[in-house]
Structure 1
Amino acid sequence: MPPCTPPRVLDRERTPRRYIGFLKSASVCVLIAGLLSPFSPAVAAGGRTAAASADLCGGQCSDILPPGENGNATLAQILLNQAFGTQPGHAEDQLGPYAGLAKGYPALTDAKINDFFNDASFGVPSGQAASTERPAGRSDVTIVRDRKAGVPHITGTTRYGTEFGAGYAAAEDRLWLMDVFRHVGRGQLTSFAGGATANQGLEQQFYRSAPYTEADLQAQIDNAVAKNGARGRQSLDDANAYLAGVNAYIDASDAGRYFPGEYVLTGHKNAITNAGTIDHFKITDLVALASVIGSLFGSGGGGEVDNALSLLAAQSKYGVAEGTKVWESFRERNDPEAVLTVHDGRSFPYATRPDDPQGEALPDPGSVVQEPLVYDRSGTGAGAAATRVSSGAARATLGSARRGMSNALVVGGRSTASGHPVAVFGPQTGYFAPQLLMLQEIQGPGISARGASFAGLSMYVELGRGQDYAWSATTSGQDIIDSYAVELCQDDHHYLYHGTCTAMDEVEQRNSWSPTVADGTAAGAYTMRVWRTKYGPVQYRATVGGKKVAYTTLRSSYLHEVDSIVGFQMLNDPDYVKGPQDFQSAAQHINFTFNWLYADSRHTAYYNSGDNPVRASGVDADLPVWARPAYEWRGWDPATNTAEYTPPAQHPNSVDQDYYVSWNNKQAADYASAPWGEGSVHRGDLLEDRVKRLVAAGGVTRASLTAAMADAALADLRAEDVLPKLLKVVTSSPVSDPTAAAAVDKLQAWVAAGARRTETSAGSHAYADADAIRILDAWWPLLVKAEFEPGLGSDLYTAITNNLPVDEAPSAGHGPTGSHAGSSFQYGWWSYVDKDIRSVLGETVRGPLAQKYCGGGSLTSCRDLLISTLKDAAGRTAAQVYPGDDQCAAGDQWCADSIVQRPLGGIKHGRISWQNRPTYQQVVEFTSHR
């Protein structure tokens, strides 16, 4: 331990009040020295390394997961971090290499890849083991941690011991985080961690979507085991062994007093007496964790009520026929110019618009009210939660928050230098401290894999590599959610089910909290209440043709988040996955909506997973329908929420396509998935353009494909793919206004330089082309509003912006973590602007908007509009464009875009420069196959 020094910076807003007095005095040394004595369990340095199973990657597998593997910290380490900025070992050591790629990729070679990634080979090289332990003294499992990143390499001689070790290692690295999210999944976070506003928001977000009882959680386990035979029983055995390992660590860390310090800061443990308990984990905790992950990352669709409101706004302005045509043109549910992952010419029709829609239940204008979730002590619905919504403002809690920048670049061996496929891919799960994912290697009977898993669900590697293959996923978002209008009867809490007046099921979660050291919030309590029907939880209330209805949300993965466990078990089994068809078969057992990508030494493959319900004939998946037998999913059983699902062959899939790109873009032709904005300009184009160039040139390497990803990660999509067309209009005649002319020069120079948002030099915290970036950031929302609102009218313009936000620049607040989340350019009006401007220019547009909007379709008027808004934007100061927040001062452009690792515990990490890139990422090229 370094000698104690006075704290350089004391963050009073983030340092627990109880300890500020200690930190201001010399006694901090005494306090910390005392708390450090039981710092960690006794482990032997060195020792034997993890046994390397058949590893056919030839040293050419790499991965990265910022900020670091170690997500647990004792109270002493938390205090040191908050007082002096010191970091626990392996808590932040992957953040620097991850950030460094942004400036290092232009000179990247295969030999330098591991300057920015970890070596993801199996096992630990001789002399590189930092520690070796046999958890709980077991003889059938060993955990070896490597020196570079502290990754646990778990090797078991029995299946039980292997899974026990996986659970023990998970608790070593993420116990507090696992505890937080098992409470989030039950809607109990505030009772556990305090009543801070962020805690309330997090538990409310998920409880509305998955309001499960303990019986519901247990039923998921029972059902998943029952329907999957031997593999289902094995998954239950694995889960129980995993839980035994987690609980063994809880007991050991409690006895040794090296448990996470957050338990002290939230009042669960006493730092002096060690009084208090850390509750053991149980099987239903895993279901609660899975429900959070599934709801956030793997449940596409929804938003039908929101869609209905914008459609009604369009029909109100233009009439039913023309309004529907206008709305469909903005919906772009099957745009012919959209970038596709499966681009071999095959079609996969799903959720397409029916010629004669049946059963639509569109609300009466002005009647939609969001269902209250939060109730006060008197049982009265909170007023803010029951506000009337209109003009497309009824946004589903999760639907509006889903964001992702998971991406994948996979090139077949015909186009690579070695003749073997190359893949650069990974999921985006946000930036947190600690990270939601954790790294591990698991080797044991029937399991051989290394990669990332969600903390608390890491009995298997969920994204990673096997002995001679690797796989990854991106969020796909296809529509597995539908909204039903249930007719009310008797009162507001009874509805008609198949003609019978039926009581809704009331589910409540009462939370109360006392002031805690961690957040200092006053004592409080509230109740969350959800009304459930056979068609899912109630989300809104309205009238349809004067009849009172409740709009419910039903998703195919509702009550089935655990079903996917067997698919992950298969992906980890070297005896199951021996080629691309086996990989696709395993992915077919995953009911979450993901795009799965695969590579081995000979083949590449793709499969889109999810339980896609077969809808009744004539039902439009984009709009709410009546809750009547004629419009239900085919074969739907409300008792189990099971239905008939589209067969695997009807899911977008492919083997050995020349290349694959996926960045949450459209999967295949006629696959009308849920997200808005899958049109002519999508951030998937950033990958498509770069990979196509590489494939055309041939000789693709790991380094060149990684550099293509990194280059796309720094590109401003608007500047690369839309700005040149805007400037073409502006410069169609000489620009006489000096302010506008100067702005044009800067923007043109930026486009010529590559249209990237990157630092002048590593660590400069200043952008090259800073003025051009500021101008476009200010100009985009101004030009979109001026271009479209006059033609659409304020009501319809507002309605569509509630379906699809105008912009998602790096500095925008978006996603479940707000601003500084990294992900950018997934949702925005770039396709609308692109199509409209090309139409005004007289260029060919496939799938054009129903009308021309910029300047009423006149090139001269459009030019005048763009120049006027450009002048306005050029005059905006940096402080106006980047107003500042809790992280950054007003006007700090680099900081406004920067990525923040949002604390989920007591440890904080530094900001890094923006990169639009997956959180966990692999670079793989296998040299041989079994």
Structure 2
Amino acid sequence: MPRRTPRTALDRLRTSRSPLGFLKTASVCVLIAGLLSPLTQTAAAATGTTAANDYCGGRCSDILPPGENGNATLAQILLNQAFGTQPSHAEDQLGPYAGLATGYSGLTDAKINTFFDDASFGVPSDQVASTEKPAGRGDVAIVRDKKTGVPHITGTTRYGTEFGAGYAAAEDRLWLMDVFRHVGRGQVTGFAGGAPANQGLEQQFYRNAPYSEADLQAQIDNAVANNGARGRQALADVVAYIDGINAYIDASDSGRYFPGEYVLTGHKDAITNAGTIEHFKVTDLVALASVIGSLFGSGGGGEVNNAMSLLAAQQKYGVEEGTKVWESFRERNDPEAVLTVHDGQSFPYGAKPADAQGAAMPDTGSVTEEPLVYDRTGSAATATAKGTSASAARSALSSARRGMSNALVVGGKYTASGHPIAVFGPQTGYFAPQLLLLQEIQGPGISARGASFAGLSMYVELGRGQDYSWSATTSGQDIIDTYAVELCQDDYHYLFHGTCTAMEKMEQKNAWKPTVADGTAAGSYTMRVWRTKYGPVAYRATVGGKKVAYTTLRSSYLHEADSIIGFQMLNDPDYVKGPKDFQSAAQHINYTFNWFYADSQHTAYYNSGDNPVRAGGVDTEFPVWAQPAYEWRNWDAATNTADYTPASAHPNSVDQDYYVSWNNKQAEDYTTAPWADGSVHRGNLLDDRVKKLVAAGGVTRTKLVQAMADAGLADLRAEDVLPKLLKVVDSSAVTDPTVAGAVNKLRAWLNSGAKRTETSAGSKIYADADAIRILDAWWPLLVKAEFEPGLGSELYTAFTANAPIDEAPSAGHGPTGSHAGSAFQYGWWSYVDKDIRAVLGEPVQGGLARKYCGGGSLGSCRDILISTLKQAAGLTAAQVYPGDDQCSAGDQWCADSIAQRTLGGIKHGKISWQNRPTYQQVVEYTSHR
């Protein structure tokens, strides 16, 4: 039988919902034998490394699903698509990660590594799977362990160490790294095809960071010039790292074991090996960093939407009362909010000024969003007609930004061992391959193990050093402001310091051919962003009749490369020797993160980010005029630098009794960017549990993991709001049998813990399934019935644009997107809680300006809740969980389930929902240097 050419067979592949439009089904059996060129490099005999520099005493663990191996050859992709076969180490961390959801209740310290992996330094000799000398170098070795395949990189020179880090990163994530350097430049469609999701990816990031190659190079030059010896070392590390990446590209190309996605997207020919995989360059890493910084480290913005909702409130109630109503929903400094620093310290930032100056509020109805995409042809024009590009912009990567992270850290005074314990990690979403990769790096000036973003792994970004661990959660404090630039001459000139100045036109023209991977016809379009010295144009409007462009300026704009210095410090054992050194290192990171630290004696916290010092009287919630009087203090338009608040003004702490963070408020008077950060926040789920543990004392690693896992299965609405709703409903007042039955089911669920858990491991059926369905259906109905009559439809709609009403795991009416894992960060639970308590006559601090449920009447409020509860109870599972391309209608477990969203050719099965970090550490150090 003659062998078919790969192109003929691959033409039979179809697309899926993957963000990169990858494979769904294939008839591929005839291809496999012909494509089994070398899949991996031969493993050499090796001996294990010693770990005399490891002070964790075997009590450091971590996990990162689905697996370390994120590269697959074409043959491996075809086998996966045809038979579900997984390449080695592509999925071996997914099962243990998923298993914690049902296994945590019986956890012991001895069983922790059933659900996590040993994160000790080195590899025992009997666990060495392979040793590699990349490119034949004698100054670095990459040792991989048998269980997970994680690379342990040991170098005798700094260059060799970083070369090895780059080589190992390319071995594990080359395709993903290539995708993201194109994302950062707004060039995904031309690289990976014109699938709507690809269009959404490049559109999402190009608007915020429309950089030229000169901009990327300038970031490198400035980071080096401004940081002395550390800056020069950082550049040398990056160059060595890229040399390692490129050495792997050359080796895999000549050996024909490069990622199969290059064939599927037309960059390589499977038979002739024609085509190229472009080498990486230094500016590629800045493009990568701009994507990560935009996703996870740039809080603030939204001033135009804030302005429109304030105007709607003032139109409804009048200026004075409308402002009070708006402020009560904004909850910018809510006294009932859970705090990370809860020892009474105050860190004022972003407070409402007594007399706001420079506000540039839009005329009602004048705001239009600045167009991004022009000149569509072919499939791009078809996508617009069908509306698919708009939905694609809310891609899987958007959900990663919403996913965020958590941390639980307890001081040694309250633990059984007397040593601090931490369970923490970032929630970066669930992808295949994962955005993060695991590694250990040991070399001159570097000693660390942990997770790094693919393509930026010259240092460990979240993990452990010799005798300390660190992690981060997204903090979201406001480093973005909106300026109203007055137009002159035409729509593309503006006044800058009194001079009519031309906007800079940034364009990225993308065209794509049909590819095997995405099945989309040829097409093209141009992305266009107009830049000013105050940042890119986001909206157009009139202010007092004057035509303006609203621009967004963030302090990290043109400065994504600066944070490399802080990460370099965190990896340096000669720099970080205690909590103060850790805080100093974190202060060199200009992204908005909450950083946490634990060693054998101390714990610490620091909130990072370049917080600009704003002009007096400027209200950070609203647009201001682009005039010198309202600019950031000492702002230099040419370099986008300014005065920043000092380290002491950032929320920080050492040795507090405990720390928790789930993207909640950092400290007293530190105003946060997200709306609805009030009395009920998912951070309460952690705080309530850890506070009880600390009060009882004797905390162990097991107990802290259990607290995290228990909170990760809790329904926030059920645990913290439902009891008050049922108090209003009052069982004795219920006469309708449907409502009575619903109330009984909800109470029973509360009594059993209000968790979203399976009846047993692998059952794919929820215990208390009816109660969960009822609450999922009830919440959007009750919120609308509770608030819309009092607010009016226009204002209610405006407020829901600022704060979505729900983020349930099934995401039927939330912003995150389905199957994303992370839930309950965005919602109206605080508003419902405060309003219901007010109606009940209970004390409320920082309450809403008015009572809304039933106009403030308890009886009328009860009628509303009973009516909406009856409506919710009558909805079928198929109506509440309508199904999607992964789940049939009515499948409740599947609707909640977590999917590893494909960014390449390998797919994985869904796992049961749990609300926890993607990468996670469990640490308890037993000694210190």
* Secondary structure at 2:635 match in 1: coil
1:903 match: 902
1:33 match: 33
Letter in 2 for 1:287: V
* Secondary structure at 1:456 match in 2: coil
2:390 match: none
Q: Could you give the per-residue CA deviations for residues 157-178 of structure 1, whole angstroms, max 9, x where no partner exists?
A: 0000000000000000000000
2:850 match: 851
Letter in 2 for 1:444: G
Letter in 2 for 1:50: T
1:796 match: 795
- CA distance 1:706–1:395, shift in 2 (3 Å): closer
Letter in 1 for 2:215: D
Distance apart, 1:231 and its partner CA: 0.2
- Separation (CA, whole Å) in 2 of partners of 1:436 and 1:22: 24
1:391 match: none
- CA distance 1:577–1:20, shift in 2 (3 Å): closer
* Secondary structure at 2:451 match in 1: strand
1:3 match: none
* Secondary structure at 1:376 match in 2: strand
8 Å contact kept, 1:359–1:625: yes
**Structure 2 gap segments, 5+ residues each:** 1-8, 386-392
1:161 match: 160
Q: Could you give the per-residue CA deviations for residues 318-360 of structure 1, whole angstroms, max 9, x where no partner exists?
A: 0111000000000000000000000000100000100101000
Are 2:295 and 1:296 equivalent residues in the alignment?
yes
1:112 match: 111
Deviates more, 1:30-39 or 1:326-335: 30-39
- Separation (CA, whole Å) in 1 of partners of 2:757 and 2:96: 16
1:313 match: 312
Q: Could you give the per-residue CA deviations for residues 54-104 of structure 1, whole angstroms, max 9, x where no partner exists?
A: 000000000000000000000000000000000000000000000000000
1:176-191 to 2 correspondences below 5 Å: 176-191=175-190
- CA distance 1:531–1:815, shift in 2 (3 Å): farther
Are 2:252 and 1:220 equivalent residues in the alignment?
no
- Separation (CA, whole Å) in 2 of partners of 1:366 and 1:21: 45
8 Å contact kept, 1:446–1:575: yes
- Separation (CA, whole Å) in 2 of partners of 1:150 and 1:535: 47
* Secondary structure at 2:263 match in 1: helix
8 Å contact kept, 1:403–1:815: no
- CA distance 1:778–1:397, shift in 2 (3 Å): closer
Letter in 2 for 1:744: V
- Separation (CA, whole Å) in 1 of partners of 2:538 and 2:886: 34
- CA distance 1:879–1:816, shift in 2 (3 Å): closer
* Secondary structure at 1:127 match in 2: helix
Distance apart, 1:423 and its partner CA: 0.1
Are 2:61 and 1:62 equivalent residues in the alignment?
yes
Q: Could you give the per-residue CA deviations for residues 263-317 of structure 1, whole angstroms, max 9, x where no partner exists?
A: 0000000000000000000000000000000000000000000000000000000
Are 2:831 and 1:832 equivalent residues in the alignment?
yes
Q: Could you give the per-residue CA deviations for residues 366-392 of structure 1, whole angstroms, max 9, x where no partner exists?
A: 00000000001599x999999xxxxxx
1:103 match: 102
Distance apart, 1:401 and its partner CA: 8.0
* Secondary structure at 1:54 match in 2: coil
- CA distance 1:635–1:814, shift in 2 (3 Å): farther
- CA distance 1:347–1:583, shift in 2 (3 Å): same
- Separation (CA, whole Å) in 1 of partners of 2:199 and 2:615: 38
Runs of 4+ in 1 over 6 A off after TM superposition: 18-22, 381-386, 394-401, 814-817
8 Å contact kept, 2:807–2:816: no
Distance apart, 1:808 and its partner CA: 0.2
2:680 match: 681
TM-score, structure 2 length as denominator? 0.96
1:335 match: 334
2:3 match: none
Q: Could you give the per-residue CA deviations for residues 492-545 of structure 1, whole angstroms, max 9, x where no partner exists?
A: 000000111000000000000000010111011100000000000000000000
- Separation (CA, whole Å) in 2 of partners of 1:15 and 1:264: 20
1:734-883 to 2 correspondences below 5 Å: 734-812=733-811, 818-883=817-882
**Structure 1 gap segments, 5+ residues each:** 1-6, 387-393
Q: Could you give the per-residue CA deviations for residues 796-836 of structure 1, whole angstroms, max 9, x where no partner exists?
A: 00000000000000011689973110010000000000000
1:563 match: 562
Q: Could you give the per-residue CA deviations for residues 592-645 of structure 1, whole angstroms, max 9, x where no partner exists?
A: 000000000000000000000000000001100000000000010010000000
- Separation (CA, whole Å) in 2 of partners of 1:803 and 1:426: 28
1:694-733 to 2 correspondences below 5 Å: 694-731=693-730, 733=732
- CA distance 1:110–1:876, shift in 2 (3 Å): same
2:404 match: 405
Distance apart, 1:38 and its partner CA: 1.9
1:885 match: 884
Distance apart, 1:49 and its partner CA: 2.2
1:513-592 to 2 correspondences below 5 Å: 513-592=512-591
Distance apart, 1:34 and its partner CA: 2.4
Letter in 2 for 1:36: L
- CA distance 1:324–1:22, shift in 2 (3 Å): closer
* Secondary structure at 2:402 match in 1: coil
1:464-475 to 2 correspondences below 5 Å: 464-475=463-474
- Separation (CA, whole Å) in 1 of partners of 2:738 and 2:572: 63
Aligned residues: 909
8 Å contact kept, 1:15–1:82: no
- CA distance 1:872–1:852, shift in 2 (3 Å): same
8 Å contact kept, 1:374–1:385: no
- Separation (CA, whole Å) in 2 of partners of 1:232 and 1:20: 43
8 Å contact kept, 2:405–2:663: yes
- CA distance 1:103–1:15, shift in 2 (3 Å): closer
* Secondary structure at 2:125 match in 1: coil
Are 2:569 and 1:605 equivalent residues in the alignment?
no
8 Å contact kept, 1:141–1:162: yes
Q: Could you give the per-residue CA deviations for residues 838-879 of structure 1, whole angstroms, max 9, x where no partner exists?
A: 000000000000000000000000001100000000000000
Aligned-CA RMSD value: 2.2
- Separation (CA, whole Å) in 2 of partners of 1:613 and 1:784: 37
Letter in 2 for 1:350: Y
8 Å contact kept, 1:402–1:816: no
Distance apart, 1:13 and its partner CA: 4.2
Letter in 2 for 1:42: T
- Separation (CA, whole Å) in 2 of partners of 1:239 and 1:63: 26
1:43 match: 43
2:250 match: 251
Letter in 1 for 2:658: Y
8 Å contact kept, 2:505–2:528: yes
Letter in 1 for 2:783: V
Distance apart, 1:35 and its partner CA: 1.4
* Secondary structure at 2:403 match in 1: coil
- Separation (CA, whole Å) in 1 of partners of 2:48 and 2:593: 35
- Separation (CA, whole Å) in 2 of partners of 1:561 and 1:308: 29
* Secondary structure at 1:694 match in 2: helix
1:222-301 to 2 correspondences below 5 Å: 222-301=221-300
* Secondary structure at 1:718 match in 2: helix
- CA distance 1:23–1:896, shift in 2 (3 Å): closer
* Secondary structure at 1:246 match in 2: helix
- Separation (CA, whole Å) in 2 of partners of 1:496 and 1:400: 37
- Separation (CA, whole Å) in 2 of partners of 1:869 and 1:518: 46
Distance apart, 1:734 and its partner CA: 2.8
2:914 match: 915
2:5 match: none
Distance apart, 1:687 and its partner CA: 0.1
Letter in 2 for 1:62: S
1:422 match: 421
- CA distance 1:510–1:318, shift in 2 (3 Å): same
Distance apart, 1:677 and its partner CA: 1.1
Q: Could you give the per-residue CA deviations for residues 639-678 of structure 1, whole angstroms, max 9, x where no partner exists?
A: 0000000000000000000000000000000000111111
2:450 match: 451
- Separation (CA, whole Å) in 2 of partners of 1:23 and 1:793: 53
Q: Could you give the per-residue CA deviations for residues 176-226 of structure 1, whole angstroms, max 9, x where no partner exists?
A: 000000000000000000000000000000000000000000000000000
2:73 match: 74
